[in-house]
Chains A and B, each alone.
Chain A
């Protein structure tokens, strides 16, 4: 896959808006709808927060986001990579989403949201990097 542009910044909460702005700006020429843009923003936030907390465990590190568009499949593709601890988000169990307010555990929704709000999620560990690929099918 040819990635048309990318951004690399320190993986911090302060940089979260810059990462999101980069992806949203990169998507403009592909005319995604407002729901798709919301879903992309949510998935990126959850992925970056997860990466800061787990891959880097609040230590300093960089995150890179690259974007591409597959014309044939009409897929908008976002690849997020870090050089932190190996962590396959796809191996995490889904949270309990049925118990009531008192029993419901706090947390665990971030990774679940990444899986639910994009069309597909791929993970690979390559060259000591966690690489998460988020694919958004563009409905025609």
Chain B
């Protein structure tokens, strides 16, 4: 798993690649928690390079989303594909998260 963060004027954009499973998800949680504590309110997670995610990964995404919502922020997901998208769909996450095809589309939503 690889996680990186970059700051845009409108949002903090995370890129998560590889595998988020029961073994790697604690590291994802640590890295995301470290970035969401500041003044920024809007967060985008780009998952285009994500090959695999299990319930352990969804647990982290929901935990982070709750923290962001509790400070009146917003969280947008980008680039869900294939089986990863199916995991989000079956869990009901596709209907509770705002999902976009590209970072650009997500940033435009935040104008």
Contact = CB atoms under 8 A, between A and B. Distances in A.
B38 interface: no
A109 B96 contact: no
B62 A116 contact: no
Interface of A: 13-14, 16-17, 34-35, 38-39, 41-42, 45-46, 49, 97-102, 104, 106-107, 109-110, 112-113, 116-117
Interface of B: 21-23, 52, 54-56, 58-59, 62-63, 65-66, 69-70, 75, 82-83, 87, 90-92, 95-97
Given A39-B83, A46-B54, A110-B55, A97 B62 contact: no
Contacts of A107: 55, 59
A27 B91 CA distance: 27
A46 B55 CA distance: 7
Given A38-B83, A42-B54, A46-B55, A13 B23 contact: yes
Residue of B54, B59, B75 with most partner-chain A CB within 10 A? B54
A136 B30 CA distance: 35
B65 A49 contact: no
Contact of B62 (A16, A39, A46, A101): A101
